[in-house]
Chain A
Amino acid sequence: MSDYSLPNPGTIEAVVSDEPRGTLLETLHEWVITVDHKRLGILYILYSTFFLLVAGAEALFIRIQLAFPHNHFLSAQVYNRFFTMHGTTMVFLVGMPFLFGFGNYVVPLQIGARDMAFPRLNAFSFWLTAFGGLLLYYSFLGGGGLYGVGNAPDVGWFAYAPLTARSFSPGHATDYWALALIVSGFGTFGTAINIIATVVSMRCKGMTLMRMPLFTWLMLVVSMLTLVTITPLTAAQFMLLIDRYLGGHFFDTQAGGSSLIWIHFFWIFGHPEVYVLVLPAFAIANEIIPVFSRKAIFGYPAMVAASVGIMFVSLSVWAHHMFTVGMTSTSNAFFTLSTMLVGVPTGIKIFNWIATLWGGRIRFTTPMLFCIGFLFQFLIAGLTGIMLSVSPWDWQLHNSYFVIAHFHYVLVGAVVFCIFAALYFWYPKATGRLMNETLGKWHFWLFLIGFHITFDTMHFLGLLGMPRSIYTYQPDRGWNFLNLVVSLGGMVQGVAVLIFAYNFIASLFQGEIAGDDPWDAWTLEWTTSSPPPVYNFEEPPEVHSRRPLWDLKHPDDPDWEYEA
């Protein structure tokens, strides 16, 4: 028994937040030059919220066009640009920056560090990502080249060669696409390095690897996966630019080049990428579900092992996106098996979450509601993933709306739901105020209903033979009614997102004051004030278990007595 230097929540004097306020320009300047991980985290999140609205609006345009057969709302070219930009934006400018934003904000706080390992690299990475986004959207103006009419890339987010070759894709739109992703890719790469170094080298005293909060653990795993995921894409993009600008032949079918190698390279990136998106969502659920069921996470070591397992297995399944390109039957069988195996560690996670809920005392706050939505939806999405991995069936389902439904179920139903959960959960920490619960519930229920109207229906369109990436369809195919339903669901989601946006801004001024620990949670970020001071902790904390605040709140029954 010795001294335990963890500050008692609520006892830190609140002098720190009383910095003198400068002019607007000074404040802006401060935010631009900041190297503070919390400010950068917030910048990331604002940036991705903005692009969520933009790409969401693009989705709504897509849905208006498809609401009726032979619709003339968008022309073929504009539609193709919109779905390309929608997919690219959602994956690279919404999903990744959101998740790395949370990583930035939360990880140093959870491990009791003062900042990231390399604060300046951190700022640099953010601005690279931001610049990448600008570059991508600048293509709307500059994509046609100096004299052409402006346009944006229209090759799909997977940009299969040789459609991207100069001869099939003149102008500069494709170059903007490649450059933007290279630039933001370097930003992501930098952040991943930073998070790894932070988690490995900056943990506070006593925080051994097996005492790290699961959020931090998963951010570490995601960052490691990112290292070997985003870089193949960068390499392939360089090859594409070599082809387009230096007359190279990597993907030039006239000179013996191969389209297949691009497809392989893209999915060697693309498949692990989807786990890069979903693991942080798991990370968020790992924090929120225990807190609102009032129980320790069930099977912590298994959760860690499953995450690491997913990381490794996900590197060997990429060709399940390629069942129709004509691989040998043995390859098809191999990738079917490896893909199905991902279900095992993922299943462990689902079961552990259910076991965490079991015997708990579940509080249905907005963040928890979003996590529950996530659990159901991810279960379904995972099972449709298993259906897709059945390669003969995938010969039917590939590139149909069934696939669109599958991946929106994961990307929206799991990732976006968890992002919303995280926003509600950590908002009070970052701003000092809670978001409005009533509006939050409206947001949740509307979004949930809209989500299911939209994406449940899409599965049937796929089964009825509707391919993706089509700007219009024939009225005699039997897809009319279902498409209309899908489009209406999209509109409901739009309303929900608008409510969220209002709540997000309004709560900044009217929200209830949160205090340090509004949710009665257990990890280190809740020991410091809300918002935390620049230096995070008055004194470097020291921990003895996975739930330092539990130990503090239950001195008679601390966690470390049970942890193996």
Chain B
Amino acid sequence: MSTVSTRLPVRAAEWHLPYKGRVGMSALIAGESAIFTIFVVAYVFYLGKSVTGPRPSDVLEVPIIGTICLLSSSLTIWRAERAIEDDRMGSFTAWLGATIVLAITFLIGTASEWKKLIYQDGLTISTNLFGTTFYSLVGLHATHVVIGLALLSSAFLFSLFGRVDSRQSERFGAVALYWHFVDGVWVVVFSVVYLIGR
């Protein structure tokens, strides 16, 4: 193995590239945003086009508690991120636990909302266009919350058993990024479904 020496430019500065997990997660988020956009467009396009009732204004109630929980979970996970970066593992576990509790509260809220809609108001996915678009959009978001919850819970379990430390902070950063995305999407879904569409 021989090397050749040539005239070379001044040495480039130190070689730093972004963390691949974060890049991958950002790419995933870009794609997911497109999926959500399509469902949101469908929702908006079909607003008021249902042939039969019930209409959104008849049955929807604004899920204030769930929304507060979900939005504040962005805050708690941010604290958890800071904690893991500084290797404060106790604090990390606590903030992560808080995030999980908030997420579960949100899901319970959605579940009870759906229960009311189905049993009390008789709105199912096949009732009318509103039912179809509503359950698809909110359900798609809820699915993402569930996936995020699974990721957070596994991180939580690892940290309970002391298997996480600041060396994993970049990885956890990617998970947190996903969670922020899920929250951000909720802001859109919430405004479209409960504010504009009602």
Interface residues of A (CB under 8 A from B): 1-8, 11-13, 117-118, 189, 192-194, 196-198, 200-203, 205-206, 208, 223-224, 227-232, 234-236, 238-239, 242-243, 246-250, 255-258, 261, 265, 268, 538, 544, 551-552, 555, 558, 560
| Cβ of B163 under 8 Å from chain A | no
CB distance from B12 to the nearest CB of A (A): 6
CB distance from A112 to the nearest CB of B (A): 11
Residues of B near A261 (CB, < 8 A) are 42, 45
Among the listed B31, B45, B128, B136, which residue makes an inter-chain contact with A242, where contact means beta carbons less than 8 Å apart? Answer: B136
Q: Tell whether, in the assembled complex, residue B39 and residue A193 are in contact, meaning their CB atoms are under 8 Å apart.
A: no
How large, as a class, is the contact surface on chain B?
35 or more
A-B Cβ contacts below 8 A, count: 152
Residues of B near A231 (CB, < 8 A) are 31-32, 34-35, 38
| Cβ of B8 under 8 Å from chain A | yes
Q: Tell whether, in the assembled complex, residue A250 and residue B6 are in contact, meaning their CB atoms are under 8 Å apart.
A: no
A215–B134 Cα distance when bound, in Å, is 43
Residue of B nearest to A260 (CB): B45
A560–B12 Cα distance when bound, in Å, is 12
15 contacts between A and B (CB under 8 A): A3-B3, A8-B2, A12-B1, A196-B24, A201-B18, A201-B19, A205-B15, A223-B27, A227-B30, A227-B31, A248-B132, A255-B52, A544-B9, A555-B6, A558-B6
**Known contacts A248-B126, A552-B4, A239 near B42 by CB under 8 Å:** yes
Q: Tell whether, in the assembled complex, residue B11 and residue A11 are in contact, meaning their CB atoms are under 8 Å apart.
A: no
A242–B8 Cα distance when bound, in Å, is 61
Residues of B near A8 (CB, < 8 A) are 2-4
Q: Provide the B17-50 mask, 1 if CB < 8 A to any CB of A, else 0.
A: 1111101100110111111011100100110011
CB distance from B51 to the nearest CB of A (A): 5
Q: Tell whether, in the assembled complex, residue B125 and residue A242 are in contact, meaning their CB atoms are under 8 Å apart.
A: yes
CB distance from B114 to the nearest CB of A (A): 14
Residues of B near A227 (CB, < 8 A) are 27, 30-31, 34
Residue of B nearest to A189 (CB): B31
Residue of B nearest to A193 (CB): B27
Q: Provide the B37-75 mask, 1 if CB < 8 A to any CB of A, else 0.
A: 111001001100111100000000000000000000000
| Cβ of B129 under 8 Å from chain A | yes
Among the listed A189, A208, A250, which residue makes an inter-chain contact with B132, where contact means beta carbons less than 8 Å apart? Answer: A250
CB distance from B9 to the nearest CB of A (A): 5
Among the listed A5, A6, A538, A555, which residue makes an inter-chain contact with B7, where contact means beta carbons less than 8 Å apart? Answer: A555
Residue of B nearest to A13 (CB): B1
Q: Tell whether, in the assembled complex, residue A197 and residue B20 are in contact, meaning their CB atoms are under 8 Å apart.
A: yes
Residues of A near B42 (CB, < 8 A) are 239, 250, 261, 265
A7–B19 Cα distance when bound, in Å, is 28
CB distance from A5 to the nearest CB of B (A): 5
Interface residues of B in 79-108 (CB under 8 A from A): none
Residue of A nearest to B45 (CB): A261
Residue of A nearest to B17 (CB): A201
**Known contacts A227-B30, A231-B35, A193 near B4 by CB under 8 Å:** no
Residues of B near A3 (CB, < 8 A) are 3, 5
Q: Tell whether, in the assembled complex, residue A235 and residue B51 are in contact, meaning their CB atoms are under 8 Å apart.
A: no
Q: Tell whether, in the assembled complex, residue A192 and residue B125 are in contact, meaning their CB atoms are under 8 Å apart.
A: no
A232–B30 Cα distance when bound, in Å, is 12
Residues of A near B33 (CB, < 8 A) are 228
Top 9 A-B residue pairs of the complex, sorted by shortest distance between their CB atoms: A247-B126, A201-B20, A235-B38, A248-B132, A231-B34, A227-B31, A197-B24, A555-B6, A117-B20
Q: Tell whether, in the assembled complex, residue B23 and residue A558 are in contact, meaning their CB atoms are under 8 Å apart.
A: no
Among the listed A223, A235, A560, which residue makes an inter-chain contact with B9, where contact means beta carbons less than 8 Å apart? Answer: A560
CB distance from B72 to the nearest CB of A (A): 29
| Cβ of B133 under 8 Å from chain A | yes
Residues of B near A7 (CB, < 8 A) are 1-3
Q: Tell whether, in the assembled complex, residue B129 and residue A249 are in contact, meaning their CB atoms are under 8 Å apart.
A: yes
Q: Tell whether, in the assembled complex, residue A236 and residue B38 are in contact, meaning their CB atoms are under 8 Å apart.
A: yes
**Known contacts A552-B6, A555-B4, A118 near B129 by CB under 8 Å:** no
A13–B1 Cα distance when bound, in Å, is 8
Among the listed B7, B17, B27, B51, which residue makes an inter-chain contact with A203, where contact means beta carbons less than 8 Å apart? Answer: B17
Q: Tell whether, in the assembled complex, residue A256 and residue B8 are in contact, meaning their CB atoms are under 8 Å apart.
A: no
CB distance from A555 to the nearest CB of B (A): 4
Residues of A near B24 (CB, < 8 A) are 117-118, 193-194, 196-197
**Known contacts A242-B132, A261-B42, A235 near B23 by CB under 8 Å:** no
Among the listed A5, A228, A558, which residue makes an inter-chain contact with B3, where contact means beta carbons less than 8 Å apart? Answer: A5
Q: Tell whether, in the assembled complex, residue A239 and residue B136 are in contact, meaning their CB atoms are under 8 Å apart.
A: yes
Residue of B nearest to A232 (CB): B38
CB distance from B150 to the nearest CB of A (A): 17
Residues of A near B125 (CB, < 8 A) are 242, 246-248
A142–B31 Cα distance when bound, in Å, is 32
A250–B133 Cα distance when bound, in Å, is 7
Residue of B nearest to A246 (CB): B125
A171–B21 Cα distance when bound, in Å, is 43
Residue of B nearest to A265 (CB): B38
Max chain A C-beta neighbours (<10 A), residue from B12, B17, B24, B51: B24
Q: Tell whether, in the assembled complex, residue B133 and residue A11 are in contact, meaning their CB atoms are under 8 Å apart.
A: no
Among the listed A196, A235, A243, which residue makes an inter-chain contact with B27, where contact means beta carbons less than 8 Å apart? Answer: A196
Q: Tell whether, in the assembled complex, residue A1 and residue B4 are in contact, meaning their CB atoms are under 8 Å apart.
A: no
Q: Tell whether, in the assembled complex, residue B1 and residue A192 are in contact, meaning their CB atoms are under 8 Å apart.
A: no
Q: Tell whether, in the assembled complex, residue B5 and residue A4 are in contact, meaning their CB atoms are under 8 Å apart.
A: yes
A563–B8 Cα distance when bound, in Å, is 13
**Known contacts A2-B8, A7-B1, A246 near B126 by CB under 8 Å:** yes
Q: Tell whether, in the assembled complex, residue B20 and residue A538 are in contact, meaning their CB atoms are under 8 Å apart.
A: no
**Known contacts A227-B27, A248-B136, A232 near B5 by CB under 8 Å:** no
Residue of B nearest to A192 (CB): B27
**Other CB < 8 Å A-B pairs besides A12-B1, A197-B20, A197-B23, 19 of them?**
A1-B6, A2-B11, A4-B8, A11-B2, A192-B31, A193-B28, A196-B23, A198-B20, A201-B19, A230-B31, A231-B31, A239-B42, A239-B136, A249-B128, A250-B129, A256-B46, A256-B50, A257-B129, A544-B12
